[in-house]
Every structure is written in structure tokens, then in C-alpha cells.
Amino acid sequence: MHRTAFVVMLIAFAAPCFALDEALVQEAVEALRQATQYLTEEAAIHGGYAGSYLADLSDQWGEGHISATMNWMQPPGSPSTGFAFLGAYEATGDEFFLDAAKQNAESVVWGQLACGGWDYNIDFSREGEERYFYRHNAGSEDETLASGHDTGTMDDNVTQHCTRLLIAVDRALAAAGRPDEAIHDAAMAALDYLLEAQYEGGGWPQRYPLSGRRYSDFMTFNDNTIRDCCDVMMIAWREYGDQRYYDAAVRCADFIVEAQLPEPQAIWAQQYDADLKPGWARRFEPPSACSSESMGVMRLLIELALFTGDEKYLDPLPAALRWYERSQLEDGRWARFYELKTNRPLYFYAGTYRLTYDDSDTPTHYGFKGAQHPERVAEQYEAIKAQGLEAYRRERERELTREEQIERAQGMEDDVRDVLAERSENGVWLRKGGYGGGDVMHLDMRTVQRQMRVLSDYVGQAKGYPGR
């Protein structure tokens, strides 16, 4: 046997046996393309999206009904679909998907308010342009286009997610040699808006500019408002390197440490007034120790410790985790609200919204109890303490080897086949139930985005993410 052949044989026996189903990979790519083409050519309104549609696209909803001239911005609304396109671009390197993401980003830019933030919906009609003061109308001599609503919201991840999308598309276009000045400028304006909205003490209000009279001015953990704002600052620092973004994230971290309630209720309230005291929001959101929002706060503290390299942001976690151990209800869940000082669970009577300790008749539109899973935070905390902060960060950020990517792709093949089999004749994914009726098929964008992520993850692992 020739020596060269012998060496090749040894390598073949020594190497792990990783074989991709190339036909399945190509089918997944084509499915991504077909779904994207249908969405951009049939479903999109000026490049953007609602949250769900009737299957024939004859009606649409966000969080409630919206008109045919509107895009919905709250996830899983329009920017989330833009991220699905970006995921397909990263997985394939095909600029067809980047173009779809750019089209979506342009719709977000069009609906940016003059203040730099966004409201829940963008309305492309003339009536919408009069109702909202959009940034693209700044300087207009037509008073009807420059005097509408101009308060952005950080509630429900609206402005934050729009900003994330613009940053991501801006950077992807620049890396592809196709910088877009309008998208970049809108991203910068959005980041300036978030910097301006941040209180000097480090928290963010629910809406900005401030009203001066409502709970929306309070520093708000509800619906992860502060967490999402801080996340954007960390992303912006990594992408643009502007010290202002880093400093904003650190101010937020210091605010969280200061806002932790004293023992034995060492978690966080849902919202805080200017004196850093828990305050009332809506009539069913009392000043209290809040189990649900505190889970997001603890996860954010871990991210901030990893971001800054400073372990002091982990210090609040042990006391908070002990509170969860002491405060679990008999059914294994936690009340959302616990009375300050007494730690008694708080509820409201349906209909009257009278505050009570009785959980037998609560409104159904709001989660007054929940399974919070503090053990997940505890496991991450213990892993960091065991490995050290820097070692934990390096391991988490380690890129997979090519062999690991292929092995992961192989492990996804059954799920990918299921996703491909569930497509409609238009190449998207429908589900029964929604605003249009429980027995009616809907084009549900959350479902579409989830299925596209599965396909993109699979293709990306198989191809090595050529679009990154």
C-alpha cells in the first residue's frame, strides 16, 4: 500500500462520521426563500407587518384589530419578522434575505416618531401621518403633519426592538458593502432618544417625553421595560463602541442594585417613583414586591456582570433567591405581587378590582400567579461562581467547531422535516385560532418567525453561517 493512501485511510478512520443531508439543507433554504417571497410580496404593507392575519390576508391584528394601512411594532410584530429575514441571511449568505430585512427596516424608519422612539403602530395613511408626528415630517410646513402624537413607548419592547432591528440591519448592510445612510441615521436617533429618556439615576420610564402626571413617568421594570432598554445599550456598545452606551448600561446596573428592596423582601418592585419608592401603576398594579419582574431583573444582573466584568452585580442575587425559596405558594407557583413588609400575596377581585388577600376570584386578563423558575437563575449563578466570571463568559461565547455545527445540524433533521411538512400551499405556516375566531386559520407571525428560526438555525449550522 502506498504511504499516501495509508495516511488517508488513517484520517478517515480517525475522523468523526458527520454526513449532512444535503437535499434536506437545500429544501430548507428553498422553504425560507418561498416564505420570505410570500411575506414580502403578499403580506407586507410598505415593507412591514401585523402580528397575525386571516389566512387570505383580508384582515389583520396586532394586540387587537389594526387597519390595513398599519404595521404593529410590539413583538412578534413587524421588527420581529425583520429579524427572521436577517436570520435567514446569516444562515445562507443570500442577499435576497438581506434585501427583505432592509425593506422591513425601511418601514420602521418611516414610522419613527420625531422624538426618536416609536408607538405601538405605524400608520401609512394620510390620517396616520396627521395622528402621529413622524420624524420624516420634521420641518414640514404643513402643521397637520408636524403636530400629532410624539411620545415614544418603551412598554412591551416597542422602541427597544425597533432600535435593535435598525442596529442589526445597519451593521449587516455595512458588512456587505452596502451602507444605508437613512437606516444608520434612524438607529442613531433612536439611541439618542433612549439616552435622553434614561433618568440620571439609571432607570427608564415607560414612555418619553414624560407626561408629568402619570405612572408612565415611573422607572419601570414592568414588561421588562428597563431590561430591554439596557439590553439595547449593551448591543449598541458592542456594535458602535460609543462610550455613552457603555456608561448608560453601568448606570442602569447601579440603579438596579440600589432599587433592591430591603430584607426580608430582597427582590424588586414593578415600578418606582422619583424618590425610588414602589408606586401604583394601573389599578391592578399596586406598590409591592413583584416576583415576575424580579426574575427579569436577576437575569439582567447576570448579563451586566458579564458585560462589565464586575462581580458586584451578582451580589444582590443570593438574597433574592432566598426570598423565592421562602415565598413559594403551596401549588408551587408565586403570586405576582407581595405586600410590602408583610410579604402576604396580593390579588384583586374580578369586576371590582378591590385589593384582597383572596385568590379565589381574580381577573383572567392578567397573570396574578406564575411559575417563575428561580432555579434557572440559581444554576447560572452557581456556574459563574464555580468557573469564574471571565471563564464562564469565554465558554458561553465560544464558537462551535465545524464538527460540532454539523453534529448539531444532524440532530435537528427530524424537527426540520416536521417544519417543512407543516407549510401551507403559500409556503408559510398557519394555525387555527386567533382574533378572527377560534375555528379560523390564521397566518400567525409568531409561528412564522419560530419556524423560520428553526430552518435558519439548521441551515446556518450546516453551512457555517456564511452571512455573518
At residue 413, the pLDDT reads: 98
The pLDDT score that the predictor gives to residue 1 is 47
CB atoms closer than 10 angstroms to residue 66: 22
pLDDT of residue 364: 92
pLDDT of amino acid 18: 60
* Residue 24, phi then psi, degrees to nearest 5: -70, -40
**pLDDT value for 19:** 84
Cβ atoms of 373 and 295 within 8 Å: the answer is: yes
Reported as a single tens digit per residue, the pLDDT across 144-178 is 999 999 999 999 999 999 999 999 999 999 999 99
**CB neighbours (10 Å) of residue 441?**
16
- The parts of the chain modelled with pLDDT lower than 70 are 1-18
Pure H helices in 68-221: 78-92, 95-110, 126-131, 158-175, 181-197
pTM reported for the whole predicted model: 0.95
* C-alpha to C-alpha distances, 42 to 28, 57, 426, 427, nearest whole angstrom: 21, 8, 10, 12
Which pLDDT score, from 0 to 100, does residue 13 have? 38
d(CA 124, CA 111): 8
Q: Cell digits for 373? A: 423558575
- Per the CB < 8 A criterion, the answer to whether 125 and 138 are in contact is no
At 268, the amino acid letter reads: W
User: Locate cell 438596579: which residue?
Assistant: 256
Q: Which residues, other chains included, contact 264 with Cβ-Cβ below 8 Å and sequence gap of 6+?
A: 323, 326, 343
Over the stretch 129-148, which tens digit does the pLDDT of each residue have? 999 999 999 999 999 999 99
Residue among 246, 256, 248, 189 nearest 219 (CA): 256
Q: What per-residue confidence (pLDDT) applies to 273?
A: 95
**One-character DSSP codes across 432-445:** E-STT-TTSEEEEH
What's the pLDDT score for residue 174?
A: 98
Q: What angle do CA 20, 22, 27 make, to 5 degrees?
A: 130
Cα–Cα distance measured from residue 199 to residue 209, given in angstroms and rounded to the nearest whole number: 12
Interatomic CA distance for residues 132 and 147, integer angstroms: 8
Cβ burial 380-407 (10 Å sphere, 16+ → b, else e)? bbeebeeeebeebbeeeeeeeeeeebbe
